[in-house]
Amino acid sequence: MLKAKTILVALTAVTTVAFGVGAAGDSIEMKKKEWQFDGPFGTFDRPAAQRGFQIFREVCSSCHSLKYFKFRNLSGLGYEDDMIKAFAAEYEVVDADPDEYGDEKIRKGEPKDAIPAPFANENAARASNGGAFPPDLSLITKARADGPNYLFSLMTGYVEAPVGTDVPEGMHYNKYFIGHNIAMASPLSDGIVTYEDGTPETLDQYAYDITNFLHYVAEPKLEERHALGLPVMMFLFFMIGVTYLVNRKIWKPVKEGKTLWHHGDD
Amino acid sequence: MTTIETTNEHDEGATRRDFLNVFAVVGSAVGTAAFVWPLVDQMNPAADTLALASIEVDLSAVEEGQSVKVKWRGKPVFVRHRTAAEIATAKADDGASDLKDPESDADRVTAGKEQWLVMVGVCTHLGCVPLGQQGEYGGWFCPCHGSHYDTSGRIRKGPAPKNLEVPSYSFLSDTRVLIG
Amino acid sequence: MAHGPTFEPKNSVLKWTEERLPIFGLIHGSLGPGYPAPRNLNYWWNFGSLAGLCLVIQIITGIILAMHYTPHIDMAFDSVERITRDVNYGWLMRYMHTNGASMFFIAVYIHIFRGMYYGSYKAPREMLWMLGLVIMLLMMATAFMGYVLPWGQMSFWGATVITNFFSAFNDLYAGSGNGDGLGDMVVSLLLGGFSVDNPTLNRFYSLHYLLPFVITGVVILHIWALHIPGSNNPLGIDMKGKQDKIPFHPYYTAKDGFGVFVFLAIFAMVIFYAPDSMGHPDNYIPADPMVTPAHIVPEWYFLPFYTILKSFTIDFIITAKFWGVIAMFASIILLFFLPWLDSSKVRSAQFRPVFRFFFWVLLVDLVVLTWIGAKSADEIIFMDIQAVTIGQVATFWYFFHFFFLLPVLSRVEKTLPLPESIASAVIKDKA
């Protein structure tokens, strides 16, 4: 079994190297937060994610779209069907089909719709944002290395530029942004969103909440994945045990040096 | 199976299948079978498809004698605002002898809202879309193979075996109906 | 082949079938009790069957993903998101497929290194070795095209960079310099346009679907070629008497079964708990032909070759770029000549101490090549040595190993005495 252990170690090592290579990069050290969705049993912090949804609606959505997130996906954050319908109905969306005169048909939002994008297209977005394009946020925590920590750090990373740093016109200094000059002004600050549940209205809390929400948006199947992972892993470990014992039993005569091939004359 | 037994007879070393071997074989079989479910289930309608499975239709603009055709689950649904004459004919024909698929008009509409006839606009013969207010019974006529439906959407003549299907629907208000 | 007992059908149904299609006999003789295997195969020999398992998983999950994927530049990214978000178990299928590719390469690379360590490429197994390399090349092509399909930033720029290798042919015929050189023509032929675009995505999708079945065909040839001489073993000596052999079933089926569950457990851990760890975050950004990501990094299994490509920085007769491309392809093609570059009659590294030492050096060299592959060329590694310099040393060593060390070593190395037979060696060990 010594050999088998060596191989297991080697296999794990190669897998780890394979993983590690992707994560490499010249990165700025991010703030490390404890996230409830981390780890093999991780689940979403629903109250935080719901507050994050409020922040998104009141702050982020004026510049950023969320094209892969549909109102119906809110059910995963613990909202009831009629609340989801009510949220959706607050928005006006352009129907996929034109009306009878061939013009755009504007109707109330429905659970099947995404939150309407603030700008019609990229050019319109750039024109309204001094040439910068606010990216779609549906996948933001997966599209950045160490995404949740990055997002939290970015939200809380607006500081005074160090002495001697030249921040160009229309840009803002952020400790955690690549190159430090970011077109987006600090979107969150103490008290900017009013919480109804008595949660402290601080920048750190806001950053934590919006990250919880956007990570749910990026990875809505996380809980389902973790839930399925446990029985699958238990089954596989059980089968490792069984097949190990079967294998040892079958190999016993070979280990004892018996002759087990009885055919032919060679 | 045969191969295992052959070995066991010839080889002194390989022990007969005991409970461990059964565990290993049954375990593998169960594992494989469990893995087949996701492979099958992925073919079922996805969440975005199911989200479109019910639609709301606004009836306020449909005048008496008019119909609207809406798309529901990829198929046309006819919503007709029937005239008094059409309702009367449909009720009068409840006992007609040429009904292939006998059904009373009252069973095909919502009580108190007899003027609204909601049907899946797919001919029960081979799936074509029938034309409205045509054919020998003043209801629908399917041009593909000549099926005639009456003002209640019941099959009266032609190859189609069944009446036009009435989907499950409910009135949310006097002017809004939820189909599906 | 077929050194073992012939298959004797037990009942009339088997007999009836066997007379018309001897398929049970084929299984009996190739994976059953009718196939004699050396009694001393260790766990490194599990990786052949594991690679086969990976191929099956990739084909099954791939066919399913193809049911939901849309090969169009405007919809590819969206359809992949729809798979992960809305399709029932779509996330499972997708994560199995993306990580399955990495697991497949892990299994195959270990399988190859096992063959190199124990001299499995030597006579009479040269054909087996070369068919294996054909499988690896086909896998690389398949993996590369598959990575383009999600149409993220890395998909797009990876495809752009790799297809641009072929523009090196401009060195042979430059044309007028306005895009009519030999390289330009080859590139636009591959892309179906002047840049990576919808025609490229469509043909990659088509070929990505096709090639796994070609791989399956070559795998069958690979197994066929294995059954002519039979398996090599850790001692590298031929099986002689009955004592050296054991039937494949039940001994190696049981051992492979155990290996399968260990492998699946590692695979499942990745799928359920770290599904994006082998991918690159930039591939969650939709492809944008106007913006290049800061670092373009291929998947980890291509990194050693990518380093070799980047290591040529000086024009000499032909451009540095052309040298890089030639060296990159040469680094793989040279493996086809391994049976002749290494002329030592002794197969196993167990009896070749110097060879064994340099085998491990080569392995370290490849780890270095992989590590450097993910760095940008001017990154300082330590003191003031740049990544590119380390890559160049590692690249030099790679070719030095195969083109100089191995041929010389195989002629001058003093090998240890070989045991008389497998049985005498392994059974004596136990006593």
Q: Does residue A143 lie within any of the structural domains?
A: yes
Across the interface, whether the CB atoms of A247 and C375 are under 8 A apart is answered no
Closest residue in C to B1 (Cα–Cα): C10
Nearest Cβ partner for B14 among C60, C86, C250: C250
What ipTM was estimated for this complex?
A: 0.92
Lowest mean pLDDT among A21-30, A60-69, C83-92, C280-289: A21-30
> Which of B93-107, C35-49, C132-146 has the lowest average pLDDT?
B93-107
Please name the amino acid found at residue B173: S
Shortest Cα distance, chain C CAs vs residue B38, angstroms: 6
Residue A193: inside a domain, yes or no? Answer: yes
For chain C, what is the domain count?
2
Residues facing residue C245 across a β-bridge = C38
Q: Which two tokens stand for residue B82?
A: 């029937």
Mind listing the pLDDT tens digit for each residue in B78-111? 999 999 999 999 998 888 888 889 999 889 998 8
pLDDT at C197 over 80: yes
- Is the pLDDT at B69 greater than 80, yes or no? yes
Residue A74 covered by a domain? no
Residue A78: left (phi > 0), alpha (psi -120 to 50), or beta? Answer: left
Segment C106-112 shows an average pLDDT of 97
Q: What's the pLDDT band for C426 if we cut at 50, 70, 90?
A: confident
pLDDT tens digit sequence for A49-92: 999 999 999 999 999 999 999 999 999 999 999 999 999 999 99
Identify whether residues A251 and A125 lie together within a single domain. Answer: no
- In C158-272, the DSSP E strands lie at 245-247
Size of interface B-C (CB pairs under 8 A): 59
Q: Omega of the bond prior to C124 within 30 degrees of 0, cis?
A: yes
Chains that touch A (3 or more CB pairs under 8 A): B, C
Domain that holds residue C324: 35-430
What are the tens digits of pLDDT across the range C242-266?
Answer: 899 999 999 999 999 999 999 999 9
Same domain, A207 and A153: yes
Nearest of B96, B15, A20, A3 to residue C114 by alpha carbon: A3
Q: Same domain for A125 and A246? A: no
Three-state SS for B26? helix
Count of the separate structural domains present in chain A: 2
E-strand ranges in C304-425 read 380-382, 385-386
- The residue among A204, A220, A236 that closes a domain is A220
pLDDT at position A20 over 70: no
- Do A215 and A259 reside in the same domain of the chain? no
CATH of the domain at A174: 1.10.760.10
Identify the active-site residue in C255, C413, C421, C424.
C255
- Which of the residues B8, B15, B32, B73 would you substitute to probe the A interface, choosing the one with the greatest number of A C-beta atoms within 10 Å? B15
Q: Is the pLDDT of residue B14 over 50?
A: no
Do residues A151 and A214 touch, judged by C-beta distance below 8 A? yes
Residues A173 and A215 in one domain: yes
Residue A93's H or E segment, with its range, is strand A92-94
Opening angle at CA C78, ends C74 and C81, nearest 5: 160
Most confident of A4-13, A110-119, B43-52, C43-52: C43-52
Domain B50-179, CATH number (from 1.10.760.10, 3.40.50.2000, 3.40.50.150, 2.102.10.10): 2.102.10.10
Residue B29: list chain A partners with CB under 8 A.
none
Express each pLDDT in B113-131 by its tens digit.
889 999 999 999 999 999 9
Q: Do C357 and C413 share a domain, yes or no?
A: yes
Contact between C422 and C38 (Cβ < 8 Å): yes
Q: How far apart are CA A95 and CA A108, in angstroms?
A: 9
pLDDT of A99: 77
Q: What count of other Cβ atoms lies within 10 Å of the Cβ of residue C359?
A: 16
As a whole number of angstroms, the distance between CA C272 and CA A231 comes to 11
Could you tell me which of C67, C141, C137, C147 has the C-alpha nearest to residue C100?
C147
**Claim to verify: residue C19 and residue C90 sit in the same structural domain:** no
Average predicted confidence (pLDDT) for chain A = 89
The two tokens of residue A71 are: 């109102």
Between C27, C86, C92, which is nearest B47 by CB?
C86
CA C199 to chain CA centroid, Å, is 27
Give tens-digit pLDDT for C61-99. Answer: 999 999 999 999 999 999 999 999 999 999 999 999 999
Per CB-CB distance under 8 Å, the chain A contacts of C110 are 10-11, 14
Q: Are residues C284 and C368 in the same domain?
A: yes
Residue of B nearest to A108 (CA): B56
DSSP labels, A19-30? HHHHH----PPP
Res A90: pLDDT: 92
Residue A19 lies in a domain: no
Same domain? For A206 and A164 the reply is: yes
Could you give the C-alpha distances from C288 to B74, B100, C197, C228, in angstroms and in order? 33, 61, 11, 51
Q: What token pair was written down for C361?
A: 């050096």
Peptide bond into C250 cis (omega under 30): yes
Query: Is the pLDDT confidence value at C286 over 70?
Result: yes
Provide, as residue numbers in chain C, all residues whose Cβ is less than 8 Å from the Cβ of B47: 85-88
Domain boundaries, chain B: 1-44, 50-179
H helix intervals, C240-342? 248-273, 303-310, 320-333, 338-341
Active site residue C299: yes
Active site residue B145: yes
**One domain for residues A265 and A142:** no
C21 with C71, same domain?
A: no
Q: Say yes or no: A242 and A130 in one domain.
A: no
Indicate which residue of B10, B81, B125, B145 is catalytic: B145
Identity of the residue numbered A151:
L
**Strand B75-81 to strand B67-72: parallel, antiparallel, or no bridges (unpaired)?**
antiparallel
Instruction: For residue B5, name the pLDDT band (cuts at 50, 70, 90).
Output: very low
Whether C117 and C26 map to the same domain: the answer is no
How far apart CA C107 and CA C114 sit, in angstroms, is 11
Q: Residue A21: which of C44, C110, C374 has the nearest Cβ?
A: C374
pLDDT at residue A200, rounded to an integer = 95
Per the structure, the complete domain to which residue A194 belongs is given by: 31-65+117-220
Q: C101 and C23 share a domain?
A: no
> In this structure, are A155 and A176 located in the same domain?
yes
Q: What would the two tokens of residue C356 be?
A: 């064994």
A239 touches chain B (CB under 8 A): yes
A233 and A258 in a common domain: yes
Q: What is the pLDDT of residue A108?
A: 87
Q: What is the CATH number of the domain that holds C380?
A: 1.20.810.10
- Mean pLDDT value across residues C172-197: 89
Do A235 and A210 have their domain in common? Answer: no
- Please tell me whether residues A177 and A238 are part of one structural domain: no
Residues C316 and B27: their CA atoms lie apart, in Å, by 62
Using CA coordinates, name the residue in chain C closest to A37. Answer: C273
State whether C20 and C83 are in the same domain. no
Sequence-separated (6 or more) residues with CB below 8 Å from residue C267: C99, C100, C103
